[in-house]
Each structure stands twice: as structure tokens, then as C-alpha cells.
Chains A and B, each alone.
Chain A
Amino acid sequence: MNTALPNPAMPPSLSLYGVSVSSRLLLGTALYPSPKVMAESVKAAGASIVTVSVRRESARANSGMGFFELVRSLNVRVMPNTAGCRTPREAIATAHMARELFGTDWVKLEVIGNDDTLQPDLFGLLEAARALIGDGFKVFPYTTEDLIAAERLRDAGCEVLMPWAAPIGTGRGLANPYALRSLRTYFPDTPLIVDAGIGAPSHAAAAMEMGFDAVLLNTAVARAADPVRMASAFAAAIAAGRTAFEAGLMEMRDTAVPSTPVAGTPFFGLDQS
């Protein structure tokens, strides 16, 4: 058994589509008080992957490249998303535009089915994933904890799955821990990244303790009173959660078991009357 234990000094690295990833915290680049705070937060998080998007450019502004230059200076890998897309067609065109602009075939695929929950449209997601994989993309689908959807996405060629914790931006943490645990159990060898709905470092730690491979978040850091410090807090929580998972958590019990040895307890067995 001992040989199977990971060496804490050399944590096993995460591999996504054959790319070795040093950090298990993937960070979004939106909603920060300023570009400077965003850049400092990415550094404080130690993130090696950040999410980005494409949006309509206003004539004469040509502002998008300034943002991209800043991201490039951070020396991180970018993962463009298809946020806001409501149909496979929109998502496919958006992914292609992002690939041309960012020069990467990685895509965080979002096909949104509902305005209030920003819940993925799993049917549209699968359709778009199939098309994009056919076009040579490395698809990271933003999905729910649904096992069958996960299976279909895997079959379509998604090597990584990104189930939500809770709806985007809610900060509610792991809304359905039982289902997330099942997903982890059903797909032991597929990299699973919990994406969206994380509000506190403890939520991220809980996901990592369950054995999820990484966490992707944005709002919880960007909207913190001090985003840079919060980024550090998340980095620490995710590292702790991962180490705990590798160390092997104890089984939960329904009844109390004393931790102090019972044998030799003073006065044990003496008649109390």
C-alpha cells in the first residue's frame, strides 16, 4: 500500500489534453476592479490557466488586444469560453472566432439553456462538443453533475469534464455533493474540474477533498473585498484539499469513538456507587 501513496514533495501533476498543468486553480479574468488587480490576482493564485472570452468590438476602440497583451504578459495558458451562447451554432462560431484570436484550440464550451440559472443546455452542449471536436478543438464542456450527459460527452471525445458546483455567480458552493461524489466515482480516470458556483475557499477545499482534479472560479475572487488576498486563500485551500485527498480522509461514522485510549483509564471498572 505504501508504494501507492503520493510523495507530498512531488505532487502528481494534472494533465489536461496531454498538457501538464502545475496549478489546480483555474481563474477567470472578468469582474475585477481593475486590470492591475486581475493581473495580481492571477499571480497570487499561482494559476497557470485563465479563462477569457470574445465580445463585440466597438469601432475605433480596438480595446481587446490591450487586454490580451496584459494576459500574455502573465505567462499563462488561456482558455477561451463561449459564455452567453444559447445555441450550438452560436457556440461553434464563437469557439472558432476565439481560436483565431487567441491562437489556442482549447475551449471552455458553454451552451446556456436558462437565463436565471445559467444552466447548461446539455443537449445543445453535446451537439456543439461533437462538432467542435470534429473541427480539432480540445473541448472543456461546462456541464452539470448529470452522469449520462457526462458519459455522452466522454464518448464524443471530451477528455476533461467541468461540472458545476452551483449556478454561475451564486457562490453557493457544492449544491449537490452526493451527485458530484457519484460523478467522481464513475469517472475515476477523467480529469474533472469543478466550475462555477464556488463562493468560499472552504467550498473549493471540499471539492478537492472529494477528489476533483481542479477548480475553476472567477466571481469569488474578483468580487472579494481584496481579490489578491482572496486568490491566495483559494490557492491555499485548493492545495490543502488536494493534499488531504491524497492523504486519504477517514471514514465518517454515525457513532462516537473515543480517540484517547480506553485501556488504562483511571478508575475504570470501579464501582461508582
Chain B
Amino acid sequence: MNRVQCRRRCPPPAKSAFASGRIERGRPGNACIRNKAIANIRQHRGNRDTPMQLRVFVNGEATVTSAATLAELVVQFGFAELSVATALNGDFVPRGARQSTRLAGDDKVEIVSPRQGG
């Protein structure tokens, strides 16, 4: 995988991001993961200058993305992949299925994490 070095001084990434293996200790933080992901996607698609853009809804908000899969979307949004769970159009998508889950226009994506509860 082509590593993209960040030139900015980013804060160290979250602990859980280390576990994902996507970033190495001392490497750039979340903002950089996003840049890297976009670079990787472009490379993967044959270095097209303008990757295909889709409008999807992430946690209720419309957003335009070049992500082709749910896994790419999670990374593009700067989420540590092990610390979130996902659903697509109302159905749970397990972590292991995100890579093979392709996005379509107007998809409704939920990305959740642990929170306080009663």
C-alpha cells in the first residue's frame, strides 16, 4: 500500500487506530488517514483525476464522497475502523463486510460508537 506522508504536524492518532494496522505509531493523525485514503482510492481506480462522486447520507447528513465502499467511506471520514459500527439503509453491516459493501447514490449510512446509556 502506498503510504502518504503528512507534512503537517498532526496530533498522534487515537489508540484504537493503531490496532487497526492502518497507521503506524508516530504517523499522521486522522486528517492524514483521509488524505491517504483518497490517494489510495485514486490509485486503485487507475489514477483518474476526478474519482466518481456519490451523494450519500452519513448519520443523517447529506455528503458527497468518492468512496466506492463502506470501508472506504469509514476511512475517508476519519473514523478508526475498529471503534465504529455501521449500518446501511437500516441493516447492520458487520466490520468484515464493509470492504465488499459498495455504495450507491442516496444510500443512508449510520456510523456509531459506544456512548453512555440508561
Binding site for B on A (CB under 8 A): 28-32, 38, 51-60, 62-65, 67-69, 71, 80-81, 83, 89-90, 92-94, 96-98, 100-102, 168, 218-219
A-B contact pairs, 21 of them (CB 8 A): A28-B118, A30-B117, A52-B116, A52-B117, A54-B114, A55-B115, A56-B112, A57-B79, A57-B83, A59-B78, A62-B79, A65-B14, A65-B80, A81-B117, A83-B117, A92-B92, A96-B87, A97-B85, A100-B85, A101-B85, A219-B118
Whether B79 lies near A67 (C-beta < 8 A) is: no
**Docked CA distance A94–B16 (Å):** 21
Whether B94 lies near A100 (C-beta < 8 A) is: yes
For A28, A29, A64, the residue with the greatest tally of chain B CB atoms inside 10 Å of its CB is A64
Whether B116 lies near A93 (C-beta < 8 A) is: no
**Docked CA distance A62–B86 (Å):** 14
Whether B116 lies near A67 (C-beta < 8 A) is: yes
Whether B116 lies near A31 (C-beta < 8 A) is: yes
B37 to chain A, nearest CB (A): 13
Residue from A38, A68, A92, A168 within 8 A of B114 (CB atoms): A68
For B30, B58, B95, B118, the residue with the greatest tally of chain A CB atoms inside 10 Å of its CB is B118
Residue from A62, A81, A83 within 8 A of B16 (CB atoms): A62
- A28's nearest neighbour on chain B, judged by CB, is B118
- B16's nearest neighbour on chain A, judged by CB, is A65
A-B contact count (CB 8 A): 121
Whether B78 lies near A60 (C-beta < 8 A) is: yes
Residue from B16, B58, B80, B117 within 8 A of A80 (CB atoms): B117
Whether B113 lies near A93 (C-beta < 8 A) is: no
**B49 in the interface (beta carbon within 8 A):** no
Whether A53 lies near B111 (C-beta < 8 A) is: no
**Docked CA distance A219–B116 (Å):** 12
Interface string of B71-114 (1 = CB under 8 A from A): 00000011110011111001110110000000000000011111
Whether A64 lies near B83 (C-beta < 8 A) is: yes
Given known pairs A55-B113, A64-B113, A65-B113, the reply for A93 and B118 (CB within 8 Å) is no
Whether B85 lies near A53 (C-beta < 8 A) is: no
Whether A38 lies near B116 (C-beta < 8 A) is: yes
Q: Which residues from chain A contact B115 at a C-beta distance below 8 Å?
A: 52-55, 64, 67
**Docked CA distance A48–B68 (Å):** 43
Whether A30 lies near B116 (C-beta < 8 A) is: yes
- B92's nearest neighbour on chain A, judged by CB, is A96
B76 to chain A, nearest CB (A): 9
Given known pairs A53-B117, A55-B113, A101-B114, the reply for A64 and B87 (CB within 8 Å) is no
